Structure 1
Amino acid sequence: MTVSGAMLSLFVLLVFLSAGSSAATLSARRDTILGSETFGDVANFSTFLLDRSSGMLFLGARDAILAVDTKKLNEKKPLKIIWDVSDNKRKSCEGKGKTEGDCRNYIRLLEFLGDGRIYVCGTYAFDPQCAFLNATTFTLEEVDGMVKMESGKGKCPFEPSQHYTAIMADGLLYTAATSNFLGTLFDISRATGPEQERIRIERSINWLSDPEFVSSAFIEQSAGNLTGDDDKIYFFFNEVAKEYDFYTKVKVPRVARVCKSDVGGMKTLQRRWTTFLKAQLVCEDKPSGQRYNVLTDVFTMQHIPGDPSSTHFYGLFTSQWEQVDLSAVCVFSLSDISKVLDGPFKELKKSCDNWINHEPIPSPRPGQCLNSALKAEGFESSLKLPDKVLTFVRDHPLMENSVTAAPLLVRKGISYTKLAVNLKDGSEERRAAVLYLGTDRGELHQVAVVGQNVTLLQETPLFTSQEPVNNILLHKGHALVGSPLSLARVQAEGCALYRSCEVCARARGLGCVWSTKEEACKQTTEEPGPGDVVDAALKKCNVAEGRCNPSPQVLQVFRGLRLLLPCVQLSPRPCSWEYPLHRHTRQHNSDLEVVVTDDNLGNYVCTCQEGGPAIRDPTPCRRAAYYLTLEAPSVEKVSTSEGRHILALYIFAILLVLSFVAVIICFVKRRCGIARNLPDNSLSSGKGRDLLGSSATPQSPSSSSLFSDGFRMAEKRNGTATSTTTTTLLSNHGNGGHSYSDTLISSNSSNGHGNSLYANCNTSGSVRRLGPEFLSPDMLDRRTGERDRVRSEGGERESQEAEEVEEGLRDGLGEGMKRLEEEISSFTMFKSPAPLARCEESSI
């Protein structure tokens, strides 16, 4: 084995050891993920549209529209249509002060038209345009060889990052978007249909105040309704509240409603909504007083299929005032929203800093949708409504009461971006739901909600930490999860997802039960018994712990170790820790950071306030328990820091030996060559002294040059290695156990791929390349005849000596590599990681 071959083998070994752990973790968690290898240079996916009959998924991206067959993600390449902006159009956009990246065509709208076509709208370099896509042939309609386009103003936002929502209702498009180039005017409108029926909001700060649109929903209530009630469109958004006098802008979440048959007023509110009403959404935990006032996403679901009155809106919230990441989920029923919109109006006018009395409400009720009773009174259309009714609704769009709900779950330290819900069959009191929550770090979390019990089932990393989840669609037992760069299909239903008895027990409310015979989680139709279904199921797993009685986890630690003890709490109630009082502890949300010293060893218990029989009656519940003890020094249990230093010394010793052997070979070859090619007095000449002085023996790499930037700890987070010098107790709630040294060896803190070590290997290779320079005959003697004679006489002896030296080097190096592999395999850092902390459950 040559010196360069040995160095290359060592490099490959280190890269394999550092990369194996992360690859196994990701491959075990994901189903199918498509990224840049599949989509090429197409990126910035923002819009999903799924044809549920065929399983074809349409993706709106930058300058392109893609079609993906969800049944054959790995077999068929995506279909692609390029719809970009001309160079002149792009330069004109840039001339108006916009960036080159924004002056592209970002597809923001994909909606079925009902005739086999898809309505497609894009920003088109800050000049929104719409086109028609034939879903069967997957082609854009053209006129004279050019894409047939129509203005998209009011249908699509001007800027790629602007908040926007749209919904198609019976072939007509209802949108909530900006309506000017500067992004200062906002509109909720019926954007398509006959020109005289395209109506929008009144230009008044009372109607919309700097809104951020989130979501929209179409509720069909006219079919089979005995009262002849109209269909309605609901819009969800945040806006700056004008009803509060505060030193800063206060954001509030709103729900607004318009009626499908509304065509505006005759004189007042001409081509304006006559049914626009809005109310505040309140997601608040009243016992703690914590309110979540920023709406992030809304998922609409009918709890009873085919019954519009059973519609519920699952809202994803965060807080304007919290400094840490915070997410909460609240559920609002359609009936509660309707009650508030049918209630009293809020009076926004002021006189002498006092609220004046409410104006009398005229008849028929302002903002009311047309029904059979109104039509019987002669109001067949909104055009026939009296001016006093229209004037009142113009000045009173906001309702006095709010739509309130208590949070189903609250997560601190995590920012959720998207939400989808799957409802399980069951009785009204035992109805269960699974929440699929996407994070801003490319993860998908599954949470089971059974009654008041909320259980975190899985946390699955899908994308890199720089790819937030921006779309989630549920289809035929799978979740289609999207980010700006990737698409994933993950199995979302079925008890087979839960591969341990403990996790299966936590899914008992979803109809799962653990089969000891098959060692698998199976579906069952048996209703869970009374009491806590999770505690009862855990007992069958031979687990002594319950939901509020966790078994203490013994952690063997060493002095100076920094770790994070997890305490997962899904309810909004506070958590507290009992531990040996010491200043080297700090609480992060519900978790506890500990720096290990002799003074803070012992028991650590986390207790949280849970929901009791009544929402207002919280009860204490132990969520986590740990016992910290110093580990006994042994050969098998070497600390991460000690193991790293020992590995560095071994590698440095090997490199030093290899360099020394290479120098000996070069020296031997040089002495043999000089003895054969020069007279006895050649070394005493000035030429010889100069040559020896300029060709000093090369130095071996120093430890500082080889290891100063290498071998730092790499913290594993969301499938990406990031350099750190501390060891952290990572919590992964999808499986049980614990781990406090989930680390990888990296020789370069910037990328984790060993580039620094590889560069030093090349430096060692340069020692071997110096040999021919020492033995260059043309530099020592210009006589070619003498050179040929020396080669013929000493060639055989030189070859034999070189083979003996190289054979000895190969034997010694082989034994050294074997010993190195044995030592590396004994280090704890290269063993399989211990199971991570189990997922937890809470109730409200």
Structure 2
Amino acid sequence: MRAPGGVIFWLLSVLCSLSRSWMASLSSLGGRHLNNMLGPKNYNGVANFSTFLLDRSSGVLFLGAKDAILAVDTNNLAQKSAPIVWDVPDDKKKSCMAKGKTEGDCRNYIRLLEFIGDGQIYACGTYAFDPQCAFLNMSSLSLERGEDGGVRMETGKGKCPFEPTQHYTAVMAGGILYTAATSNFLGTLFDISRATGQEQERIRTERSINWLSDPEFVSSAFIQQDEDNNPTGDDDKIYFFFTEVAKEYDLYTKVKVPRVARVCKSDVGGMKTLQRRWTTFLKAQLVCEDRASGQRYNILTDVFTAQHTPGDPSSTHFYGLFTSQWEHEELSAVCVYSLSDISRVMDGPFKELRKTCENWINPEPVPTPRPGQCLNSALRAEGFESSLKLPDKVLTFMRDHPLMENSVIAAPLLVRRGITYTKVAVTRTAMGLEADQNNAATVLHLGTDRGELHRVAVVGQNTTLLQEMPLFPTQEPVNNILLHKGQALVGSPLYLARVGAEGCSLYSSCEVCALARPLGCVWRAKEESCSPGKTGVIQGEEVQNALRLCDSGLGHCSPAQKELRVSLGLRVLLSCVQVSPLPCTWEHPPHRRTRQHHSDLEVTVTEESLGIYTCHCQEGVQAGKESHPCIRASYQLTLESPSVGSAVALSGGRHVLAVYILCFSIGVAFGGFLLYFLSKRCRIGQRHPDHSLSSEKGRDLLGSSATPQSPSSASLLSEGFPLTEKRTGNGTLLLTHHHNNSNGHHGNYGVGVAYDSNRGNGGYANNTNSNTAVTSATSSVAEGLKLHIHETSMDERRGGERGRPEEGERGGEGDDEDEGLGEGLGGLEEELAGFTLFKLPAPLAQCEESSI
């Protein structure tokens, strides 16, 4: 046992050294962003950042956190400022915890920060499940105090959610706050309301599932009309984006749909019908669908509002970030909707939701003036200066028909699988000789749930992934992205990072600069930098030529071929990164065994499946031209010995191999100890042979070791170890068995794709044998119990004539009883039937089928 112990000690030392190297790599990662990133250490542990508010004139960023508000100078992140503390008294915490909430939730999480003028910020927090709002003085960076010296607060119900993690959105329009949040402690009531202003003008949505059905609010936007360019005198509007359960679909499960809702700023409710309720609340379904494949993305997670032409509200576009309710894998898509498309749907037909028992009834005629429209010059000329003067028939129709018949439809700009995006922000770069927005490139800044920032360029139908940048030392989801003066302020619950958002200098390599050629970027070989070049419409051929000029000599559609050395019987997943929503196809050997998972290809390695595999994806070009195929990935499968292939599949790095060796050594040591313990027990049993059957007749007559152990099954192995996909840095996936070992290392980049269905059973066979042994022991107990009952019944029928044998006599009869056990139980059921104790109860009546 000393030799294995020495090996284990050596392996532990190796693991410790590896862990130190991992920590050093993480430290170096944080060191690179030390001047551009803030964390809990910078502000004495203040964390849980949830909302951002940027003063663009001074560059001061206000962050809502747990029990505090931070003010950060974005021009100098190293300059520290004291946090503005706003916590909850102890008695308030105890009262909250007495209602069943946790101590962590019974804090004050700042969820709302909005400018209200006069150098003040309106701040609202959850305040131990009793929302409260306060006033922050921007000049003194302090909360306004009351006469008693405490923070001057007012109720935040309807303005701020009760729970820290509830979905919520708010927007300030003309100094008035509009919110979409829960309005009760249980989180079961939902309102879109005008939360501040005059009391008689504070209105909200109707409490009806036709208006809001279990919504998850995402975003909101205030669209203000241009006073100098508004010939119709149309009213300002507020838009809300959310996902809710659809009531217009009768399916076996709840179907979620993304919605956009609109209310008008001058709406003050109705006189009799819809009192203190919206009279202009209309909603429509958002459709993000890839028509080629029929894939629809129905869960809305974020919306970014961009006005492409300053001062022109009609140029407003909404970039929606979606995922799918029906997909089990990570999936993200981006669709863009114009304000004109949404307005066209809002002016269209209404959906009739009421049904009879058999079919849909005819829709009601639409009254005049049209329900749901905002006030304009034409309505004011007819005498409708306020919503209070609308007739009841208009308000009744509005109450029963909040949903529009048509949907706002868009095709995805971007589709990514294996990635979950949480936030999106957009910048635009004009590509024409003049600032023509029709020839502009769109750059999507996408935050992931792993603390990364991705940049994707979209020109026409061409979509190019430019960068994948890890930001935070821990894999925390990105929950805020603000764009300011060419910088992107990216936040997570614990960190704030500042990175460049615009300019060709962001792309530090020749290949990335060539991919950014549609943005007007050109690689300068002498300066080894990326800088702006000539403007104009960029064709796909220019990107190819720019890539060929790089040292790699490869174009965007000519990737390097990767050789994968595999073994027979493996299952290999070949990755093809599909950024564009257009389809991808594979070229492969004719006699292969493959299965396509969207853009990726799964290959079962046989002699016939060896060869070259090429992925072709359709790329869109400029308007008026057809799409063309582009090679996204190329692989060559070659055969090698199974042992080497298995090592490639299971290693993934030196630390993984060390963990496997450590587990094997521990198993050997434990096995040796177990053998020693069993051998010692056997020697004790040989010294005392009386204990086999003499103690009690109800004990095991057959030991568990009497049953031979069955070997492990290969089919059980495949069921016991689920496949785990691990995406590597170059786009390939590694399929391995899922062992409960976590090395905690995130940056494991490289090419390795192998899955051996005939190997790596680990300790599963031992588990199978142990289950077999337990089954044998259970059957032995049952047989021993039957024999005990049989002998007891014979003693009672014979009146105890036959005495119990002595200990010495029973010691030599154990083997005979074991051999005759099967014959002695032949008539056991008939003998047991004579005893009242063993009579079976009457059979139960058969259950009748329910009529429901």
Common fold by TM > 0.5: yes
Say what the alpha-carbon RMSD is for the aligned residues.
Answer: 3.9
Match of 1:430 in 2: 439
* Equivalent AA in structure 2 for residue 434 of structure 1: V
Alpha carbons of 1:602 and 1:250: their partners in 2 closer, same or farther (altered >3 Å)?
Answer: same
Q: 1:342 aligns with which of 344, 347, 356?
A: 347
Contact 1:317 1:328 in 2 (8 A): yes
Partner residue of 1:99 out of 102, 112, 118: 102
What aligned pairs does 1:597-616 form with structure 2 within 5 A after superposition?
Answer: 601-611=610-620
Native 8 Å contact 2:205 2:211 kept in 1: yes
C-alpha deviation, 1:11, in angstroms: 8.9
1:221 maps onto 2:225 in alignment: yes
Partner of 1:534: 543
What secondary structure does 1:354 align onto?
coil
1:730 aligns with 2:734: no
Residue 121 of structure 2: aligned partner: 118
Query: What is the 5 A alignment of 1:249-398?
Result: 249-398=254-403
Aligned to 1:61: 65
Secondary structure, aligned partner of 1:146: coil
Q: Is the 1:513–1:524 contact (alpha carbons within 8 Å) kept by the matching residues of 2?
A: yes
Matched to 1:435, the amino acid is: L
The match for 2:481 is 472
Do the aligned residues in 2 keep the contact of 1:443 with 1:459 (CA within 8 Å)? yes
Deviations 1:756-800 (A, max 9, x none): xxxxxxxxxxxxxxxxxxxxxxxxxxxxxxxxxxxxxxxxxxxxx
Residue 227 of structure 1 and its aligned partner are, at CA, apart by: 1.4
Alpha-carbon separation, structure 2, partners of 1:317 and 1:91: 40
- Aligned residue runs from structure 1 range 774-793, under 5 A: none
**Residue type of the partner of 2:461?**
Q
How far apart are residue 60 of structure 1 and its match? 0.8
1:491: how far off?
1.8
Tell me the TM-score normalized by structure 2: 0.72
Q: 1:311-370: CA deviations, max 9, x gaps? A: 000000111111111111000000000011111111112234322222222211111111
Maintained 8 Å contact 2:307/2:315? yes
Residue 152 of structure 2: aligned partner: 148
Counterparts of 1:338 and 1:498 in 2: how far apart (Å)?
39
Relative CO higher for 1 or 2, CA cutoff 8 Å, sep ≥ 6? 1
Per the normalisation by structure 1, the TM-score is 0.73
Cα distance, 1:11–1:126 mapped onto 2, change above 3 Å? closer
- Residue 92 to residue 378, structure 1, CA distance change in 2 (3 Å): same
Contact 2:18 2:655 in 1 (8 A): no
Residue identity matched to 2:48: N
How far apart, in 1, do the equivalents of 2:727 and 2:245 lie? Answer: 41
**CA displacement at 1:583 relative to structure 2:** 8.6
Map of 1:187 onto structure 2:
191
Does residue 507 of the first structure (1) align with residue 516 of the second (2)? yes
Structure-2 residue corresponding to 1:442: 451
Structure 2 Cα separation of the partners of residues 100 and 646 of structure 1: 39
Is the contact between residue 315 and residue 339 of structure 2 (CA under 8 Å) also seen in structure 1? yes
* Worse-matched range after superposition: 335-344 or 24-33: 24-33
CA shift for structure 1 position 616: 12
Contact 1:29–1:460 under 8 Å retained in 2: no
- 8 Å CA contact 1:186–1:211 kept in 2: the answer is yes
Displacement of 1:30 in angstroms is 8.3
Distance 1:155 1:64 in 2: 18
* Identity %, equivalent residues: 70
Measured in 1, the distance between the counterparts of 2:653 and 2:244 equals: 56
How far residue 29 of structure 1 moved from its aligned partner, in angstroms, is: 7.8
Q: Which residue of 2 aligns with 1:672?
A: none
In structure 2, the CA distance between the partners of 1:586 and 1:39, relative to structure 1 (3 Å rule), is farther
Q: Give the C-alpha shift of residue 98 in structure 1.
A: 1.8
Aligned pair count reads: 674
Letter in 1 for 2:286: L
Identify which range, 567-576 or 95-104, moves more after superposition: 567-576
Residue 528 (structure 1) shift:
4.3
Deviation of 1:732 after TM superposition, in Å, equals: 4.3
Q: Does 1:566 align with 2:575?
A: yes
Report if the CA contact (8 A) 1:562-1:726 is conserved.
no
- For residue 666 of structure 2, what is the aligned residue in structure 1? none
- Match for residue 85 of structure 2 among 74, 82, 85: 82
1:459·1:732 contact (CA, 8 Å) conserved in 2?
Answer: no
Letter aligned with residue 119 of structure 2: G
Q: CA deviation at 1:729?
A: 7.4
Q: Secondary structure at the match of 2:266?
A: coil
Matches of residues 675-686 of structure 1 in structure 2 within 5 Å? none
Whether the 8 Å CA contact 2:592–2:603 is kept in 1: the answer is: no
Q: 1:22 to 1:309 in 2, by over 3 A?
A: same
> Does structure 1 retain, via aligned residues, the 8 Å contact 2:451–2:474?
yes
Report whether the alignment pairs 1:127 with 2:130: yes
How far is 1:647 from its partner? 10
Write the distance in 1 (CA, Å) between the matches of 2:539 and 2:415.
26
The answer to which of 99-108 and 303-312 deviates more is 99-108
- Aligned counterparts of 2:87 and 2:552: Cα–Cα separation in 1: 60
Could you tell me which of 25, 33, 37 is aligned with 2:37? Answer: 33
| Separation (CA, whole Å) in 2 of partners of 1:465 and 1:276 | 42
- For 1:208 and 1:222, how far apart are their aligned partners in 2? 31
- Deviation at residue 584 of structure 1 after TM alignment: 8.7
User: Is the 1:130–1:150 Cα contact (8 Å) retained in structure 2?
Assistant: yes
Determine if contact 1:607/1:620 at 8 Å carries over to the other structure. Answer: yes
**Are the counterparts in 2 of residues 174 and 188 from structure 1 also a CA contact under 8 Å?**
yes
Change beyond 3 A, Cα 1:137–1:220: same
Give the Å deviation of 1:395: 1.2
592-601 or 638-647, which deviates more: 638-647
Q: Which amino acid aligns with 1:66?
A: L
Once the two structures are TM-superposed, the CA of residue 553 in structure 1 deviates from its matched residue by: 3.2
Tell me the residue number matched to 2:142. 139
Whether the aligned pair in 2 keeps the contact of 1:732 and 1:836 (CA below 8 Å) is: no
Distance in 2 of aligned mates of 1:185 and 1:566 = 45
- 1:493 corresponds to which of 481, 499, 502: 502
- Aligned counterparts, 1:241-252, within 5 A: 241-252=246-257
Q: After superposition, where does 1:394-433 map in structure 2 within 5 Å?
A: 394-426=399-431, 427-433=436-442
Q: In structure 2, what is the equivalent of residue 806 of structure 1?
A: none
Contact between 1:222 and 1:229, CA under 8 Å: does it hold in 2?
no
Distance, in Å, in 2 between the alignment partners of 1:197 and 1:54 is: 34
Residue by residue, what CA displacement relative to the aligned partner does 1:390-421 show, whole Å, maximum 9, x if unpaired?
A: 11111111111111101001111111111100
Tell me the distance in 1 between the aligned counterparts of 2:636 and 2:319.
Answer: 39
Q: Distance in 1 between matches of 2:632 and 2:744?
A: 36
Equivalents in 1 of 2:210, 2:528: separation in Å? 61
Range that drifts further, 168-177 or 81-90: 81-90
1:663: which partner in 2? none
* Contact 1:604–1:627, Cα closer than 8 Å, also in 2: yes
Cα distance in 2, alignment partners of residues 43 and 499 from structure 1: 33
Matched, 1:169 2:173: yes
Give, in angstroms, the shift of residue 535 of structure 1.
2.1
In the alignment, what sits opposite 1:691? none
Query: Whole-Å Cα distance in 2 between the matches of residues 520 and 112 of structure 1?
Result: 41
Structure 1 window deviating more from structure 2 (22-31 vs 517-526): it is: 22-31
Specify the alignment match of 1:48 in structure 2: 52
Asked whether the equivalents of residues 39 and 494 of structure 2 are also in contact (C-alpha less than 8 Å), the reply is yes
The question of whether the paired residues in 2 share the 8 Å contact of 1:257 and 1:278 is answered with yes
Report the CA distance between 1:68 and its aligned residue.
1.2
Evaluate the alpha carbon distance shift between residue 246 and residue 616 of structure 1 in structure 2; reply closer, same or farther with a 3 A threshold.
Answer: farther
Do the aligned partners of 1:563 and 1:729 also contact (CA within 8 Å) in 2? no
Asked whether the 8 Å contact 1:29–1:461 carries over to 2, the reply is no
